[in-house]
Amino acid sequence: MVRVNLFILFVCLFESTSLAFRHLNVLRARKHYLQLDWTTNSFQKNSRQTAFYASPSNGVANGFDWKGTKRSCEDKLQKCVESLQLQFQTIRVGVANPMMLDRVSVDYHGVPTALNQVARVNVNPSNSQQLLVEPFEKNSLPNIEQAILMAELNLTPQSDGNLIRINIPPLTEERRKELVKQAKSMVESSKIALRNVRRDFVEKVKNAEKRKEIGKDENKTYQDDIQKVTDAFTKKVDDLMKAKEKDLLKV
At 49 the pLDDT is 43
pLDDT, one tens digit per residue, over 159-177 is: 998 999 999 888 888 888 9
At position 180, the amino acid (one-letter code) is V
* CATH number, domain 57-87+172-249: 1.10.132.20
Work out the number of other CB atoms within 10 angstroms of the CB of residue 56.
9
Instruction: Find the helix or strand (DSSP H, E) in which 165 lies.
Output: strand 164-167
Instruction: Evaluate if residue 7 carries a pLDDT over 50.
Output: no
First to last CA, the chain: 137
List Cβ neighbours of 236 (8 Å cut-off, separation of 6 or more).
81
Instruction: Evaluate if residue 43 carries a pLDDT over 60.
Output: no
Instruction: Evaluate if residue 239 carries a pLDDT over 70.
Output: yes
At 94 the pLDDT is 66
At position 94, the amino acid (one-letter code) is G
CA distances for 221 relative to 1, 205, 224, 228, 229, angstroms: 95, 10, 5, 11, 12
pTM confidence score: 0.62
Beta bridge partners of 167: 130
Give the separation between CA 74 and CA 82, rounded to whole angstroms.
12
pLDDT class of 22 with cuts at 50, 70, 90: low
Q: Are 183 and 245 in contact (CB under 8 A)?
A: yes
* 88 vs 49, residue with greater confidence: 88
Q: Under CATH, what is the fold of the domain 96-167?
A: Gyrase A; domain 2 (3.30.1360)
- Residue 181, burial from CB neighbour count under 10 angstroms (0-12, 13-18, 19+): exposed
pLDDT class of 9 with cuts at 50, 70, 90: very low
Work out the number of other CB atoms within 10 angstroms of the CB of residue 66.
21
At 56 the pLDDT is 44
At 48 the pLDDT is 41
pLDDT, one tens digit per residue, over 179-196 is: 999 999 999 999 999 999
At 15 the pLDDT is 52
Q: Extract long-range pairs of 241-246: CB within 8 Å, 24+ residues apart.
A: 241/183, 241/184, 241/187, 244/88, 244/91, 244/180, 244/183, 245/180, 245/183
At 210 the pLDDT is 94
At 129 the pLDDT is 87
**Alpha helix (H) ranges present in the chain?**
2-54, 66-88, 141-150, 173-210, 216-249
List the chain domain ranges: 1-54, 57-87+172-249, 96-167
Instruction: Evaluate if residue 2 carries a pLDDT over 70.
Output: no
CA atoms within 13 A on the CB side of 183: 27
Instruction: Evaluate if residue 70 carries a pLDDT over 70.
Output: yes
Average pLDDT, integer, range 98-115: 91
Q: What are phi and psi of 160, to 5 degrees?
A: -115, 15
